[in-house]
Amino acid sequence: MRSPINLSTSQHLNPMNNVIAIDGPGGAGKSSVSRLVGRRLGYLHVDSGALYRIMTWQCLVRGVDTSDPAAVAALAADVDIECRPEDGAIAYYVGGEAPGDRIRTPEINAHASAVATVKEVRDRVTAILRAMTRHGNLVVEGRDITTAVFPDSPARFYLTASAEARARRRQKEEIEKGIANQSAEAVKASLLARDRIDSTRRYAPLRKADGAIEIDSSDMTLEQVVDAVMAALPAEWTAQGNL
Ligand code: DC
C-alpha cells in the first residue's frame, strides 16, 4: 500500500526514485551536463528554469507587471502547466501548447529573475518539481534544487564557471539557436545582473548547499564534467538507472 502523500516534505512523494540535483549560475553548463548524465543513466532530464521562464512568459503575454509581486502571485496559481516524459526529458505544455523558444528570448531573460523572487511562484514550481518523482529517476537542474526542492538527495552538485566562460557559452548558444545576436559583453552583463538577483533574493537564493559537490567547469570539457558527476554518484545508481 502507498504511504500518504505529503507535499510539504521533499523526498516523500516517491522514495523509490532517485534525484540527481544540480544547481549553479546561468551558463555554467547545467543543461548540457544534466542532459548527458540523464542519457547515460536513463534518468529523465528536468529543466526547472523553464518553469520560471513559463511563468515569466505568461506574465508578459497577459500584460502582468513583473515588478508587482501580488499580480505575479495571482498569475502563478492560474497558469495551466502539464508535464509529460518525452524523449528522455520532462516536456512542458501550457494550455496544451509547447512554449519552445518563446521562453528563451532576451526579454524573458530580463524579467525571469524578478518573477522567480515571488514566493507563490516558487511554491508552485517546487510542488510541480516534487510531483515529477512519480515519473521515474530524475536529473533536475536549477538554482535551488540542492538547497530547497530536493535537499535530501545524496547526489547534489554545485556547477560553476568564470563569468567570462559562462558569457561565451551563452552567447554561442543564443547565436546557434538564432534566438539573439548580442555581444559577449551584453550577455555577460545580463548574466551577472541575474546572478545578483538570484543569489540575493529572500526565498531560496542561489547558493552552494552544505554537502554539495562543487565543480568549476571553466577549464573542463563537457565530457570531463559529466565524468566528474558520474564518479560522485552512489554506486548503486550508476549500476541500475531507469532502463
Ligand atoms: O536557468 P534559467 O536561466 O533557465 O533560469 C531562468 C530563471 O529562473 C533565472 O532567473 C533563475 C530562475 N530559477 C530559479 O530561481 N530557481 C530554479 N530552480 C531555476 C531557475
Which CATH number fits the domain that encloses residue 154?
3.40.50.300
Q: Do the domain assignments include residue 127?
A: yes
C-alpha torsion 220→214→23→230, nearest 10: 70
Distance from residue 4's CA to the centre of ligand 1 (Å): 30
- What is the per-residue pLDDT across 131-149, written as a single tens digit (0 to 9) for each? 999 999 999 999 999 999 9
- Contact criterion met (CB below 8 Å) for 38 and 87: no
Q: Do the domain assignments include residue 243?
A: no
> How much is the pTM?
0.90
CA distances from 24 to 30, 85, 158, 182 (A): 7, 24, 5, 23
Closest ligand 1 atom, residue 30 Cα: 1
H-helix segments, the chain: 30-41, 48-61, 69-76, 106-115, 119-131, 163-177, 184-200, 222-231, 235-240
Distance from residue 12's CA to the centre of ligand 1 (Å): 24
3-class state of residue 172 by DSSP: helix
Closest ligand 1 atom, residue 149 Cα: 18
Query: What lines the ligand 1 site, CB under 6 Å?
Result: 26, 48-49, 52-53, 112-113, 116, 142-145, 194, 198
Q: Do the domain assignments include residue 241?
A: no
Ligand 1 probe mutation, 10, 34, 48, 52, most atoms within 8 A of CB: 52
Question: What pLDDT was estimated at residue 1?
Answer: 36
Closest ligand 1 atom, residue 113 Cα: 10
Question: What pLDDT was estimated at residue 13?
Answer: 54
The C-alpha atoms of residue 197 and residue 166 are separated, in whole angstroms, by 17
Distance from residue 166's CA to the centre of ligand 1 (Å): 15
3-state secondary structure labels for all residues of 9-60: CCCCCCCCCCEEEEECCCCCCHHHHHHHHHHHHCCEEEEHHHHHHHHHHHHH
Q: Do the domain assignments include residue 120?
A: yes
- Give the side-chain half-sphere CA count within 13 A for 21: 25
- Contact criterion met (CB below 8 Å) for 57 and 50: no
Distance from residue 39's CA to the centre of ligand 1 (Å): 22
Cell triple for 224: 570531463
Question: What pLDDT was estimated at residue 15?
Answer: 62
Q: Do the domain assignments include residue 100?
A: yes
Give the total number of structural domains in the chain: 1
Distance from residue 1's CA to the centre of ligand 1 (Å): 36
Rg (CA), the chain: 17
Q: Do the domain assignments include residue 121?
A: yes
Provide the domain limits for residue 193.
5-11+18-228
Q: Which regions in the chain score pLDDT beneath 50?
A: 1-12, 243
What's the residue count for the chain?
243
For 173-202, b/e burial (b = at least 16 CB within 10 A) is bbeeeeebebeeeebbebbeebbeebeebe
Q: Do the domain assignments include residue 240?
A: no
Question: What pLDDT was estimated at residue 188?
Answer: 94
Closest ligand 1 atom, residue 144 Cα: 18
Distance from residue 113's CA to the centre of ligand 1 (Å): 7
Ligand 1 probe mutation, 66, 128, 143, most atoms within 8 A of CB: 143
Distance from residue 115's CA to the centre of ligand 1 (Å): 10
CB atoms within 10 A of CB 84: 11
CA distances from 34 to 80, 84, 207, 212 (A): 26, 18, 18, 16
Q: Do the domain assignments include residue 115?
A: yes
